[in-house]
């Protein structure tokens, strides 16, 4: 099984989402045989955002691309192929300003590609990337799940994944991390319990 592990936090070793996404990946490896993990750190190896230049690069014949365009296209293609090849994905998704990190949004823009991961037909939109299992590791300083303030975070990620045809989604959640040491510790213990339960069931 090919497992793609995505981190997007800018906080390095201080990141709760990184700690928990690593725990999910570790548990997944221990629960199944022959798990091949590919790791992408979107903070340290950031993708560029969609721009006029990136569209021009993608539409320029390979032999006419300059070095920057060639790099842009190669990275976008590699990111998409990495996503398509994955059987399972762990997404570390902290909340920044009521939404996902800009680095994670840049990754989403590289994997949401018409004709590759979704299409429009006479009957409407169709996801082309189904059959994958995804675990979203959702962290936040406040309490947002199920509230209007969380719509552009967890709900947004689930919406995008559903759009691409992915419906087998679990959320491991740690909220209230900025409310003090005890609430943070309780939230992290609760998230670890979610992880343990998720893979005990598997």
Query: Tens digits of per-residue pLDDT, 1-24?
Result: 999 999 999 999 999 999 999 999
**Shortest CA distance to 170 belongs to which of 195, 146, 192?**
195
**Shortest CA distance to 85 belongs to which of 169, 2, 5, 162?**
2
- The strand pairing partners of 174, in sequence order, are 139
Query: Which position has the higher pLDDT, 95 or 50?
Result: 95
pLDDT at 100: 98
Angstrom distances, CA of residue 39 to CA of 12, 89, 198: 15, 10, 21
* Among 63-67, 97-101, 165-169, the least confident range: 63-67
> 2 in helix, strand or coil?
strand
> 73 in helix, strand or coil?
helix
pLDDT at 37: 98
Query: Tens digits of per-residue pLDDT, 118-156?
Result: 999 999 999 999 999 999 999 999 999 999 999 999 999
pLDDT at 110: 94
Task: Domain 1-199: give its CATH superfamily.
Answer: Flavodoxin domain (3.40.50.360)
pLDDT at 59: 76
Binding-site positions for FMN read 9, 15-17, 95-98, 139-142
pLDDT-based confidence at residue 56 (cuts at 50, 70, 90): confident
pLDDT-based confidence at residue 201 (cuts at 50, 70, 90): low
pLDDT-based confidence at residue 200 (cuts at 50, 70, 90): confident
pLDDT(84) > 60? yes
Q: Does the predicted TM-score (pTM) go above 0.85? A: yes
**Shortest CA distance to 175 belongs to which of 162, 164, 184?**
184
pLDDT at 202: 52
Percent of the chain whose predicted confidence (pLDDT) is above 90: 81
Mean pLDDT of the chain: 94
Binding-site positions read 9, 15-17, 95-98, 139-142
**Shortest CA distance to 19 belongs to which of 200, 197, 185?**
185
In the chain, where are the structural domains located? 1-199
């Amino acid at each position: 099984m090919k497992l793609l592990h995505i981190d997007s936090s800018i906080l390095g070793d201080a990141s709760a989402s990184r700690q928990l996404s690593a725990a999910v990946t570790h548990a997944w490896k221990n629960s199944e045989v022959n798990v091949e993990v590919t790791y992408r750190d979107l903070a340290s190896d950031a993708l560029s955002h969609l721009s006029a230049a990136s569209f021009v690069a993608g539409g320029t014949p390979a032999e006419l691309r300059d070095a920057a365009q060639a790099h842009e296209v190669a990275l976008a293609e590699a990111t998409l192929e990495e996503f398509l090849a994955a059987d399972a994905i762990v997404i570390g998704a902290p909340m920044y300003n009521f939404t996902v990190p800009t680095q994670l949004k840049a990754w989403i823009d590289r994997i949401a590609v018409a004709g590759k991961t979704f299409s429009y037909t006479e009957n409407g939109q169709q996801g082309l990337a189904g059959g994958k299992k995804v675990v979203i590791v959702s962290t936040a300083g406040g309490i947002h799940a199920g509230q209007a303030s969380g719509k552009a975070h967890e709900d947004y990620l689930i919406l995008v994944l559903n759009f691409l045809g992915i419906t087998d989604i679990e959320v491991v959640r740690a909220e209230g991390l900025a409310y003090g040491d005890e609430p943070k510790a309780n939230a992290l213990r609760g998230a670890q319990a979610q992880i343990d339960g998720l893979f005990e069931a598997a």
